[in-house]
Amino acid sequence: MIIVNLNIRGLGGGTKARYLSHLVIKEGADFLCLQETKSSSFSDVRCFLLWGSCNIGWVHHKGINGARSMITMWNKEAFEYGSHVVGTGFIAIVGYHLEAKRHCVVVNVYAACNIKDKILLWETLTTFKQSH
Amino acid sequence: MAEERKGIRGHSSQKKEMEGFNNFIETNGWVDISCVGKKFTWFKANGTTNSRLDRFLVSEESLQIWLAAKQYVQQRVVSDHCALVLKSCTKEWGPKPFRTFDVWLKEPGFTAMIKGKWELYQVEGNSISVLKEKLKLLKADLKVWSRSVFGCVESDKRRIEMEIENLDGEDNIYALEDEGRLRRLELFSQLGIV
């Protein structure tokens, strides 16, 4: 399993996208998890360009009008999507890793800065873990 | 953990937060797998503050499937955070390459030995697969030859390193006598050859 993760602080122009697609291809990533994309919407084409491939799946969480937005993408050749759960500060993707022949869950987490929301997130994720 | 921050004064609220996070990790049985590269993942623009804000947490079950998983902290390029890469090796490394050691070439009779062996191999088929099969046979023969001439290099090396380690240990407790220091020098020079 190979996962690339980055708090990108806005996808901005082409430089960041080029950096990401270079990294994803160099590492042969199965998953790409981004936090703070500062985008309220995504499209297939945008994701394909980010990864440099069309054979990918993605789930976006737009946060609050783009603030605290995050996205998880995966390579369909490596991972078979089953379902997903999105909540405040996380995206969980449930599926099957083809090479390892195992069911697995990949959770992209972006915790809030304040302790109250953090505790809530920890509780939510603990419950989620117990149910999977 | 406190050592994951630099340039931030510890407040009691932060201590509580750290405890909460550690508790969260423990309750779920997650493992904060080892880091390769930089220690911090976030750098304040003016350079006064660094923190390890980003990390992969992996379940025990996953660690048994994805062996030797590590998180690699990348260079900071497009954000004030560094990209992290979680990597493990379920991958096959593919066929092992054909290796030779310089020290073999210095050994008298090496070339003659190769020639002699090579001529004995009887392989039929197209030239590419004949070459491949012959190399395979040669590899097996080289292994036997190398053992008989040089012994088992790896285990020799380990034995020497162990002895040096022991002498260093003794040296820490009481200064080594001349005999011990000479022995250690000798071991180092052997290690150079190995």
- Give the count of Cβ contacts less than 8 A between chain A and B: 79
Which among A5, A118, A122 has the least Cβ separation from residue B54?
A5
Beta strands in A23-113 (DSSP E): 31-35, 56-61, 70-75, 79-87, 90-97, 102-109
Which among B42, B81, B90 has the least Cβ separation from residue A100?
B90
Domain annotation covers residue B144: yes
pLDDT for res A66? 66
Amino acid letter, A98: L
Count of the separate structural domains present in chain A: 1
Please indicate whether, in this complex, the C-beta atoms of A29 and B53 are within 8 angstroms of each other.
no
> How many other C-beta atoms can be found within 10 angstroms of the C-beta atom of residue A113?
6
Count of the separate structural domains present in chain B: 3
Same domain as B33, residue B110: no
Same domain as B176, residue B115: no
Which residue in chain B has the smallest CA separation from A117?
A: B17
Please indicate whether, in this complex, the C-beta atoms of A5 and B27 are within 8 angstroms of each other.
no
Please indicate whether, in this complex, the C-beta atoms of A5 and B84 are within 8 angstroms of each other.
yes
Structure tokens at B32: 């904060």
pLDDT for res B61? 87
Please indicate whether, in this complex, the C-beta atoms of B65 and A102 are within 8 angstroms of each other.
yes
Gap between the Cα atoms of A63 and B190, Å rounded? 63
Range with the poorest average pLDDT among A45-49, A128-132, B158-162, B168-172: B168-172
pLDDT for res B190? 79
Q: Cα distance from A40 to chain B (closest Cα, Å)?
A: 19
Structural domain boundaries enclosing A68:
3-130
Which among A7, A19, A129 has the least Cβ separation from residue B77?
A19
Which residue in chain A has the smallest CA separation from B90?
A: A100
Same domain as B109, residue B168: no
Amino acid letter, B189: S
Domain annotation covers residue B181: yes
- Mean pLDDT over residues B77-85, rounded? 89
What residues in A contact B78, CB-CB < 8 Å? 6, 8, 12, 15-16, 19-20
Which residues in B106-143 are b (16+ Cβ under 10 Å) and which e? eeeebeebbeebeeeeeeeeeeeeeeeeeeeebeebbe
A19-71 pLDDT per residue, tens:
999 999 999 999 999 999 998 889 999 999 899 889 999 999 988 866 889 99
> How many other C-beta atoms can be found within 10 angstroms of the C-beta atom of residue B14?
14
What residues in A contact B13, CB-CB < 8 Å? 115
Please indicate whether, in this complex, the C-beta atoms of B20 and A118 are within 8 angstroms of each other.
yes
Domain annotation covers residue B76: yes
Q: Cα distance from A87 to chain B (closest Cα, Å)?
A: 18
Same domain as B66, residue B31: yes
Domain annotation covers residue B96: no
pLDDT for res B9? 65
Domain annotation covers residue B97: no
pLDDT for res B93? 60
Which residue in chain A has the smallest CA separation from B67?
A: A1
Which residue in chain B has the smallest CA separation from A16?
A: B78
Structure tokens at B103: 């020290």
Please provide the distance, in angstroms rounded to a whole number, between the alpha carbons at the two ends of chain A: 19
Gap between the Cα atoms of A55 and A30, Å rounded? 11
Gap between the Cα atoms of B49 and B79, Å rounded? 15
Same domain as B54, residue B38: yes
Kindly report the CATH number assigned to the domain that includes residue A33. 3.60.10.10
pLDDT for res B91? 53
Structural domain boundaries enclosing B189:
153-193
Q: Cα distance from B84 to chain A (closest Cα, Å)?
A: 5
Q: Cα distance from B180 to chain A (closest Cα, Å)?
A: 49
Q: Kindly list the residues of chain A whose beta carbon comes within 8 Å of any beta carbon in chain B.
A: 1-9, 12, 15-16, 19-20, 23, 27, 29, 99-100, 102, 104, 115, 118-119, 122, 125-126, 129
Q: Cα distance from A89 to chain B (closest Cα, Å)?
A: 14
pLDDT for res B116? 92
Domain annotation covers residue B68: yes
Range with the poorest average pLDDT among A28-32, B12-16, B116-120, B180-184: B12-16
